[in-house]
Amino acid sequence: MMNTKRFLGSSGFSLILTGIIVGLVLAFGFDQTHHTQAMPVANLKSNINSPDIAAAKQLSNVFAGVSEQVNPSVVTIFTETDVKASRQMVEQSPFGQFFGDDFFKRFFEVPAPGRNYKQHGLGSGVIVDADGMVLTNNHVVDDADHIKVRLMDGREFDAKVKGRDARTDLAVLTIDAKNLSPLKLGDSDRIRVGDWVLAIGSPLNPQLEHTVTAGIVSAKGRSGVGLTQYEDYIQTDAAINPGNSGGALVNLDGELVGINSAIATQNGGFMGIGFAIPVNLAKKVVNDINATGKVVRGWLGVSIQNVTPELAKAMDLNVSKGVIVSKVQKDSPAEKAGLKEEDVIVQFNGKDLSNSVELSTWVASRSPESNIDLKVLRDGKPMNVTVKLGELTSQVQKQGEDKSRFENIGMQVADITPELAREFQLPDKQTGVIVIAVDPNGVAAQFGIQEGDIIVKVNRQKMESVGDFEEQLSHTRPGENILFYIHRDDGNLFIAFPLPEK
């Protein structure tokens, strides 16, 4: 089942992936009552400036021309998933979240718990190859048992997943069709804040497929949104809604610059803030899947954290942005290039670096063996470091993950990542370290620590990372009590027990 993901902050603001629509809603329909009101002729003025009208018509012609050119390259995607009905079906659906159980009970017949039924979803995609290759969001097709693609001319094809990448939320499909109209791929690095863009897709209902909306690029390089591990979103105010996921964001040259993916909203609908994956990031995913069936990523080999005002003051830094190297992996590209702990990375290939998600995304979007140039502050002095990247294999990733296993306590903890936050449905901006495994025969389980617990403090010291956790335990001798302050579900609790012998 494809679950629309929703992330609520303290202000009630949410982020919603825009590809999924519950199949029952598709049958509900829309009120399409027409309202017209004639304007009195006497109110029409003759002082409209002709050059202004000409300029407006010129822009209108550009929008119309681009729409005609690129619309045949956008497709509508239908998915079908076999699921068992449960109460969670309502609670986790976008409409259940925003309207509550009464909405469903009033308008829809919900299957009894435990009964099998078919869940339908709606999304969009972009033709990127004339021989039937379609690019879309991973969350549009994730867990789908059957996928169908409809072209603008009405033809429908069964689709297969050629490859997917959950870390960027992209997927590549193939259909048995030839001589299609692929969309030209642009250069997302060249677009500017304020540039006009068009969003094309199938919002809300199949009857609204190939909807075109216009807006501008309102921001670039949005990261830390919390939707995927690697984030470098284009932000736009071109209207996109659920069902637009996987659709095209194009410039006025008719080139694909982004894949529409998510919206920020308080009511489940468009509120002027949408996010698209840059096409330059998508290019690598498509090329890698085509060549090897998987995505190959660059590897730097460091543990990093954001520069905060508190850290900047404590470390006497004269910067407010960047990332601090907290650990350098042994025999990693970073170590070979001379990076050290406490180095502050402020630029990547000449681009200012804001946070750790940006650095991770930019490194991962490069191929192994490629060189990157980093501007680093060491002891307050700037220096340049060139690193030849390695390959991020599962083995090196496991070695470098910010998690620790404490065998004598019987549990494993990890830093809170966007993926773990989604998996454990954590509150927005939750701090601490998360318990990802508990030995049922260990002392932690004996005293009530559970998988998914957030350890906010240890011995009254605030936890920001696994490193903080390890340091606090290193100061505790066997036999001494450890005091844990834990966040669980909607409450907090204290748990204490003596540290056992190793």
- The tens digit of pLDDT for each residue in 276-305 reads 999 998 998 998 898 888 888 888 888 887
> What pLDDT, on a 0 to 100 scale, did the predictor assign at position 241?
83
Q: What is the mean pLDDT of residues 10-39?
A: 46
DSSP 131-150: TTEEEEEHHHHTT-SEEEEE
Indicate the fold that domain 1-26+58-293 takes in CATH: Thrombin, subunit H (2.40.10)
Give the pair of three-digit tokens for residue 18.
Answer: 């825009």
Q: What is the mean pLDDT of residues 369-384?
A: 90
Cα Rg, the chain, nearest whole Å:
25
Question: Which parts of 300-392 fold into alpha helices (H)?
Answer: 309-314, 333-337, 356-364
- Can you give the pTM of this predicted structure? 0.66
* Enclosing H/E stretch for 257: strand 256-265
Q: What is the mean pLDDT of residues 203-208?
A: 85
Indicate the fold that domain 298-396 takes in CATH: Pdz3 Domain (2.30.42)
CATH 2.30.42.10 in the chain, residues?
A: 298-396, 402-498
Does the pLDDT value for residue 128 go beyond 80?
yes
Quick one: pLDDT band at residue 13, thresholds 50, 70, 90? low
The label of the residue with tokens 């350890």 reads 455
Q: What is the pLDDT of residues 452-461, one digit of tens each?
A: 899 999 988 8
Question: Which parts of 245-278 fold into alpha helices (H)?
Answer: none
Q: Give percent above pLDDT 90 in the chain.
A: 25
Strand pairing partners for 3? none
CATH 2.40.10.120 in the chain, residues?
A: 1-26+58-293
Strand pairing partners for 125? 75
Q: Which of 70, 74, 89 is nearest to 22 (CA)?
A: 89
Does the pLDDT value for residue 94 go beyond 80?
no
DSSP 179-247: S--PPPB--TTT--TT-EEEEEE--SSGGGTTEEEEEEEEEEEE---SSSSS--EEEE-S---TT-TT-
> What pLDDT, on a 0 to 100 scale, did the predictor assign at position 11?
45
CATH, domain range 402-498: 2.30.42.10
> What pLDDT, on a 0 to 100 scale, did the predictor assign at position 43?
52
Q: What is the mean pLDDT of residues 70-85?
A: 86
Q: What is the mean pLDDT of residues 313-326?
A: 82
User: Which of residues 384 and 167 earns the better pLDDT score?
Assistant: 384
Q: What is the pLDDT of residues 406-436, one digit of tens each?
A: 677 888 888 887 767 877 888 777 889 999 8
Half-sphere exposure of 421 (CA within 13 A, CB side): 21
Residue positions annotated with a catalytic role? 139, 169, 245
Does the pLDDT value for residue 396 go beyond 80?
no
Q: Are strands 433-438 and 461-462 parallel, antiparallel or unpaired?
A: unpaired
